Amino acid sequence: MPSISKSELIKLQKSLKTDTAIGEKFGVTRQAIHQIRQKYGIPSVKIKNVERNANILSLYKKGMSGSAIAKKLDLSISQTCRIIIRAKEKKAIGKKTK
């Protein structure tokens, strides 16, 4: 397992974003980085995705296009559209069960 300090791992999370990308940088698996992150008590960046997704949906409901949202939040258009489509699917499923 690579020797990565807590502060270095936090910096890498900000720049590389995912455990997979960090692992590739050090030639180890995503799981190895996950274990190091757990050891240091550093939360996954995925926790921030819930907030980001809510922001995307809010902007979309206000009439902003998927491409404009993607540009504003520095995401790919396809990723932004997937988030919007999944939210619509969840909402449709929720209506069917009621």
pLDDT in tens, 38-81: 999 998 877 788 889 999 999 999 999 999 999 999 889 999 99
Of 44, 40, 39, 2, residue with least CA distance to 23: 2
pLDDT digits (tens, 9 = 90+) for 6-31: 999 999 988 888 899 999 999 999 99
> Are 52 and 90 in a shared domain?
yes
Hunting for tokens 């995401």 — which residue is that?
Answer: 75
The pTM (predicted TM-score) of the whole model is 0.59
Residues 79, 81: Cα–Cα separation, whole Å = 5
Structural domain contains residue 17? yes
Q: Are residues 59 and 93 in the same domain?
A: yes
User: Is 1 a member of any domain?
Assistant: no
Q: 53 and 81 share a domain? A: yes
Same domain, 56 and 91: yes
Note down the domain range covering 16: 6-40
Same domain, 27 and 60: no
> Residue 28 is encoded by which pair of tokens?
């180890």
Dist. CA 20–CA 31, nearest whole Å: 8
At 61-71, the pLDDT tens digits run 999 999 999 99
Does residue 62 belong to any structural domain of this protein?
yes
Domain tally, the chain: 2
